């Protein structure tokens, strides 16, 4: 493991004794705090000074929690990709199990989509975010031992200061495939609205279940709506069922595309984006593209959009 081993006292000071004021979020396996460290010396810095980091402290649950923490540590330590959140350090001192990541000042994609008026999230930036997220997921899918993320959603797409996106990988989200097996059986971990149809009944997870969930994220980027809400046709919590009929007809695409994009309505680009979304959301998993194909399609979409806006 090449990441830095950090003392508990350093992380305690960096987060102001894990103050509630520093709390960024809470999850099933632990809480995440913002902290500040001196990058060169890896010592605690004053609040607002030094290098901002996200400090994830595992909530102890016996030896099972330790195993999950160790799995994430080993997994994240070997990852190096611009679209995956970087693990900076860790602490394994006495009963403390802590992971330290680079801090994403831009927050989550979900938070941006929930804003009533986000001028930064223009059409071109949405395409850039979609492409970056696709590249990060493709990286996981094409490792020597391919990894199923299994919790692909907008809140796990984090943005930095210039809206460059990075995947957040949390406790027990990722699953390694074994050899040439076609699927992994596991309890469903994720959020309502993102599940692929085939995994709900069987619990079977494949790379293609990630692709489906990514299709939902693309639809959120396209529409500005979240996966779980009540829609005009009474379909509560199912963005996919609401949007699919409109995406299939190019005359109806305007009904789905985010109104915040305003007058910059992209004609050919919107149709291409809708086509990519529908491919990912294919009910039959064999009909879904691999992530490398999604990347190629989004790169082509980026060129179309550049031509439309030039």
String of DSSP letters for 51-86? EEEEEEEEPPBHHHHHHHHHHHHHHHHT---TTBPP
Residue 301 three-state SS: helix
List all residues 6 or more positions away from 21 whose beta carbon is below 8 Å from its beta carbon. none
Residue 204 three-state SS: strand
Residue 249's H or E segment, with its range, is: none
Is there a binding annotation on residue 56?
Answer: yes
Cα gap 158→51, rounded to integer Å: 17
Task: Judge contact between 100 and 90, C-beta under 8 A.
Answer: yes
Radius of gyration of the chain (CA): 20
Residue 100's H or E segment, with its range, is: strand 96-102
Catalytic residue (one of 118, 151, 180, 210):
151
List all residues 6 or more positions away from 147 whose beta carbon is below 8 Å from its beta carbon. 75, 140, 141, 174, 175, 176, 177
Structure letter (DSSP) for residue 255: G
CB atoms within 10 A of CB 56: 25
Structure-token pair, residue 20: 């509630």
To the query of whether residue 284 is one of the catalytic residues in this protein, the response is no
| Annotated binding-site members for ATP | 56
* Residues that are catalytic: 151
């Amino acid at each position: 493991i090449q990441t830095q081993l950090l003392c508990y006292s350093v992380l305690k000071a960096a987060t102001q004794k894990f103050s509630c004021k520093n709390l960024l979020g809470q999850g099933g396996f632990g809480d995440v705090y913002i902290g500040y460290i001196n990058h060169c010396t890896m010592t605690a810095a004053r609040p607002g000074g030094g290098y901002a980091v996200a400090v994830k402290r595992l909530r102890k649950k016996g030896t099972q929690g330790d195993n999950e923490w160790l799995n994430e540590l080993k997994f994240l330590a070997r990852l190096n990709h611009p679209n995956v959140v970087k693990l900076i350090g860790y602490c394994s001192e006495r009963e403390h199990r802590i992971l330290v990541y680079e801090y994403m000042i831009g927050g989550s994609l979900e938070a941006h989509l929930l804003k009533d008026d986000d001028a930064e999230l223009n059409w071109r930036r949405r395409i850039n975010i979609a492409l970056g997220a696709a590249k990060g997921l493709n990286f996981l899918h094409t490792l020597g031992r391919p990894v199923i993320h299994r919790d692909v959603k907008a809140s796990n797409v984090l943005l930095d200061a210039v809206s460059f996106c990075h995947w957040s990988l949390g406790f027990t989200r990722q699953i390694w495939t074994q050899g040439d097996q076609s699927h992994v059986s596991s309890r469903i971990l994720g959020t309502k609205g993102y599940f692929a149809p085939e995994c709900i009944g069987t619990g079977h997870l494949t790379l293609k279940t990630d692709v489906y969930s990514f299709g939902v994220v693309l639809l959120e980027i396209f529409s500005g709506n979240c996966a779980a809400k009540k829609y005009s046709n009474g379909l509560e919590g199912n963005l996919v069922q609401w949007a699919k009929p409109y995406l299939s007809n190019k005359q109806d695409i305007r009904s789905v595309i985010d109104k915040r994009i305003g007058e910059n309505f992209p004609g050919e680009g919107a149709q291409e984006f809708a086509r990519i979304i529908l491919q990912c959301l294919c009910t039959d998993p064999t009909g879904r593209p691999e992530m490398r194909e999604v990347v190629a399609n989004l790169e082509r979409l980026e060129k179309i959009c550049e031509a439309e806006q030039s």
